Each structure stands twice: as C-alpha cells, then as structure tokens.
Structure 1
C-alpha cells in the first residue's frame, strides 16, 4: 500500500523540465531584484568598495551583467548555461568583496551570514549543469 502510494506520487511529480523552469525562475528571478536595485540606485557603493581595494571603479558596472543580464537570460532560457556560470562567478566576487569576513558567522536571526550568496552560487551551478529544459524561449539546443 505504502509502496504503491509512493510510486504514484513519484510518477505524478516526475516533470524534470518543469523543475528546471522553477529553478531558473527562483535563481534568476530572485537575483534580478538585486540587480534592479543596483540598476535603479546606481553602482556607486560597489565602485567605492572596489576603489578602496585598489581596483578600478568602472569594474562595478560588471555587476549589472551578473545581476541583471545573466538572470534575465536564465529566466528566459537563452544561453542558460553560460549565463548561470556568469552568475556563479558574480557570487564568488560578491563573497570576496563583502562575505569573507562573514563566512563563519551567523546573522541576527541565526542564519548563515552568507547564505544568500551560497544559495545563488549553488543554484546557478545547478542551472549550469541541468540546462534550461524544455520550457525555454530558445528552441535551438545551442542557444539554451
């Protein structure tokens, strides 16, 4: 009885392409909020952090590629794997810029202080390995 119920549940929920779409929407869609904030408010804060570390401030505009362009491509399912790798790289840079001192810390509510960075990094890697799936704007596999 239990085994047949489990088999029925597993059969009902076997929709890998829909799961890939949900993952793309979660990772790309939620990161897009971070990017839109920087697109509207500017990248001056990031530029200042870069200059303080001895790097050129114009590099800050790269965050718009990692947090706006790449997430849009991920959500749409266009160049999904390369865009996901760009997003993962962006999370490494974000960790190096603001997260290294928080790596072994908890925030005020007891969560891992860098959990959102890790979520987006691992989520982006999962998207890169899984690909866009069937529900993507790009139909040619080369562009998925």
Structure 2
C-alpha cells in the first residue's frame, strides 16, 4: 500500500520541465539581485580589489556580464547552458577574489561562510547540465 502511494505521488510530481524552470528562476533570479546592485551602485569596490591584486580595474565591468546578462538569459531560458557556465565561472572568480580565506569558516550564525557562492556555482552547473526545459523563450534547441 505504501509503495503504491509513493508511486502515485512520484507520478504526480514528475514535472521535469517545471523543475528546470524553478531552478532557473532561483539561480538566475536571485543572482540578478547581486548584479542589479552592482549595475546601479557601480563596480568601484570591485575595481579597487582588482587594482590591489595588480589587475586592471576596468575588468570589473565583466561582473555585469556574469551577474546581470547571464542571469537574465538563464531566467528567460535563452542561451541557457552557455549563460549558466558564465555564471559558474563568475562564482569561481568571486571565490578567488573574496572567498578563499572563508572557505573553511563559518559565519556568525553558523552557516558556511561561502555558502551563497557555492549555491550559485552548483546551481549554475545544474542548469548547464539540465538545460532550459520546455518553459523557455528559446524554442529552438540550439538557443536553449
């Protein structure tokens, strides 16, 4: 009886395309808040960190590609896989810039200090491997 009920529940919840949409909305939508903050507030603080590390400050504008353009494409389901890879790469760069010293640390409430970086990195990889699904602007498989 329990097995029959579990099979029925599993069949009802088997909505892979809806799951892909929800994942895209979570990963892309939440990252977009970070990107919009930088779009409207400027990337000066990132530029300063880059200059401190001996890199040219102008490359700070690349964060807008990784945190605004890529998330919008992910949410829309357009060029989803490449956009997700760009977002994952952005998270690696963010970790290298600000997270390496926190990799083995907890924050004030006991959470992993880099958990949001890891969430976005793994979420972006999941989107890259899964693709956009049926609920996407890009209908041609080449653009999903």
Q: TM-score range by the shorter chain?
A: over 0.9
Deviation at 1:86, TM superposition (A): 0.1
1:122 aligns with 2:108: no
Q: How does 1:1-144 map to 2 (within 5 A)?
A: 1-144=1-144
Q: Which runs of 4+ in 1 moved over 6 A?
A: none
Helix, strand or coil at the partner of 1:46? helix
Deviation at 1:49, TM superposition (A): 0.2
The CA deviation string for residues 35-91 of structure 1, in whole angstroms up to 9 with x for no partner, is: 000001000000000000000000000000000000000000000000000000000
Take 1:131 and 1:30, find their aligned partners in 2: how far apart are those partners?
18
The CA deviation string for residues 101-127 of structure 1, in whole angstroms up to 9 with x for no partner, is: 000000000000000000000000000
Take 1:133 and 1:33, find their aligned partners in 2: how far apart are those partners?
23
Take 1:102 and 1:94, find their aligned partners in 2: how far apart are those partners?
12
Gaps of 5+ in 2: none
TM-score (norm 2): 1.00
Deviation at 1:135, TM superposition (A): 0.3
Helix, strand or coil at the partner of 1:105? coil
Deviation at 1:23, TM superposition (A): 0.2
Count residues in correspondence. Answer: 144
TM-score (norm 1): 1.00
Take 2:118 and 2:15, find their aligned partners in 1: how far apart are those partners?
26
- RMSD value, Cα: 0.3
Deviation at 1:8, TM superposition (A): 0.7
